[in-house]
Amino acid sequence: MTSHRSPPNRPTRRQVCRLALGCGLAGAGLSARAALDDSRFDTNFQPAPWRDQDGAAFDWSSLRGHVCLFNFVYTGCSTVCPVQTQVLVQVRRDLTPLARDGLRQVSVSVDPLGDTPATLRAFARRHGVDLPSWRFLSGTVAQVEQLGRRLRLFGGDGSASPALHNTAVWLVGSDGRLMQRYTADPPDPARLVRDIQALQAMRVGTTGRDRGHRLA
């Protein structure tokens, strides 16, 4: 009697894209652990509200359905933060129009005593930031310390000194899950462009929006 084997389950487009992205990131010498994180990244900022560069309470729901980049800065920094911000400005410019439209960026201040909405807004304008799609957030000392513990943003001694903050860039998918943490300083802009556009392709394929467009 001839046996009949059930055909193997075919991976979905989303699974293929996630695997390809994960392999590409691991091949670049980056941690693959972040790509397997199934929790929503924005839960690290809850429950306390954060203020944006206009002094308004930030609406986290505005990120839903968008690929997001998070980084951590303080306006008194004269070395790493300005350079990293300029790299991320260039990354945004180098994206395809579709990927750029779908990207949201969030820069979080690690200096709750020195940074205000006004200083963050001035910092953003000084570096040519696209403010409608890029928010600069500030919080209280307690908020920053709590976030620092959750994301290990500061040195091992527990000090929340802005000068000792982690300079990683965090890439989050449109489903809110952390996909990768880039530790290179400064980050590789070409790698960021490729990875953002790969996630954007996942978003388009999943939601069915803009089916007539495909990213290179």
> CATH number of the domain that 34 lies in?
3.40.30.10
The answer to whether residue 138 is domain-embedded is yes
| Domain enclosing residue 134, as ranges | 13-207
pLDDT at 2 over 70: no
For residue 139, pLDDT over 80 is answered with yes
Partner residues linked to 40 by β-bridges: 177
> 131 in helix, strand or coil?
helix
pLDDT tens digits along 165-214? 888 999 999 999 999 999 988 899 999 999 999 999 887 765 544 333 33
pTM, whole model, 2 decimals?
0.77
User: Given this model, what pLDDT does residue 204 score?
Assistant: 73
Q: Which of 170, 161, 171 is nearest to 202 (CA)?
A: 171
Tens of pLDDT, residue by residue over 72-104, are: 999 999 889 999 999 999 999 999 999 999 999
Following CA atoms 87, 188, 70, 215 in sequence, which dihedral angle do they give, to the nearest 10 degrees?
A: 100
- Is the pLDDT assigned to residue 125 strictly greater than 90? yes
Number of compact structural domains in the chain: 1
* Residue 133 CB neighbour total at 10 angstroms: 15
58: in domain? yes
Tokens 């939601």 belong to residue: 207
Greatest alpha-carbon span in the chain: 78
Q: Quick check: is 7 in a domain?
A: no
pLDDT at 206: 56
Given a contact cutoff of 8 angstroms between Cβ atoms, the answer to whether 66 and 103 are in contact is: yes
Task: Please check whether residue 215 lies inside any domain of the structure.
Answer: no
Cis peptide before 47 (omega within 30 of 0): yes
Residue 69 maps to a domain? yes
Count Cβ atoms below 10 Å from residue 102 Cβ, excluding itself: 25
Q: Does residue 214 fall inside a structural domain?
A: no
Determine contact, residues 200/206, Cβ cutoff 8 Å. no
| Range in 50-59, 134-143, 155-164, 176-185 with the lowest mean pLDDT | 155-164
Q: Is residue 150 part of a domain?
A: yes
Q: Is residue 8 a part of any domain in this protein?
A: no
pLDDT band, residue 47 (cuts 50/70/90): confident
